[in-house]
Amino acid sequence: MSDNQLRIVWVYPDLLSTYGDQGNVLVVERRARQRGLDVARLDVRSDQPIPTSGDIYLIGGGEDRPQRLAAERLLRDGHLFQAVNNGAIVFAVCAGYQILGHEFVNDVGQRQPGLGLLDVTTVRGEGERCVGDVLADIDPRLGLPALTGFENHQGVTHLGPTARPFARVQLGKGNGTGDGTEGAYNDTVFGTYMHGPVLARNPLIADLLLKLALDVNALPPTDDRWYEALRNERISAAQQPA
């Protein structure tokens, strides 16, 4: 973090913001301000260069065609690599997650290169689309409570040896490979299929991103009663028989 200001970058809201994932930016921003941090939020449209000076980059989900355009532009832009090399944190959802991988199958059925920031590859699932509430256990190394989210994707994501599964599903499909994994991460780069928005349902993930950005082990506590109510409601919804 430079100048004592936390810079949150919301990547391509014009292409990757169809599923309410913008809520993730609001949650990170609010929780940072609650801790007294000076926060700058930068919304970067797909016709603008990605800044390299961000601390936390958030990327949302999107439909297949905008996903193709977003991947092309991010790859051409190249600045997200630079930011990650400088130690930036990236948290990406669904289409954004797929774009972080080596490749995915796009809207015209072609294998398209992603950014290769995560050791994952996405193919088009042959079965039904994965849709519904998910309940999962986050990798215990991250010390976080259960993950609640909503998934809606056709893509099936396979993890390579250097990506760790972000979570293991109790209910729902996650990466869709049948091995129970959901999402992937590697140092400071995180991908998940969870919408919700996922950081509104799991505010301690937002705090993890803040702790990584600030390089601290703990943050002052916040009043999380509203978040808890939302979490409990969505967790019981996931547990209802379909």
Closest CA to 7 of 79, 56, 45, 49: 56
Going residue by residue from 104 to 143, which x/- string records binding to ligand GLN, judged by CB under 6 A? ----------------------------------------
CA dihedral 120, 9, 224, 201 (to 10 degrees): -40
Applying CB under 6 A, among 13, 54, 101, 155 the residue interacting with ligand GLN is 155
Residue of 79, 94, 153, 158 marked active site:
94
Does 61 bind ligand GLN (CB under 6 A)? Our answer is: yes
Q: Quick check: 24 and 208 in contact, CB under 8 A? A: no
Q: 17 is written with which tokens?
A: 């913001």
Q: Is 130 among the residues known to form the active site?
A: no
* Binding range to ligand GLN, per CB under 6 A, among 45-53, 76-84, 139-147, 153-161: 153-161
Q: Quick check: 99 and 114 in contact, CB under 8 A? A: yes
129 marked as binding residue = yes
Q: Is 94 among the residues known to form the active site?
A: yes
Give first-to-last CA distance, the chain, whole Å.
Answer: 45
∠ CA 107-109-114, rounded to 5°: 70
- Closest CB to ligand GLN among residues 130, 138: 130
The residues binding ligand GLN (CB under 6 A) are 19, 61-64, 67, 94-95, 152-155
Active-site annotation, residues: 94, 195
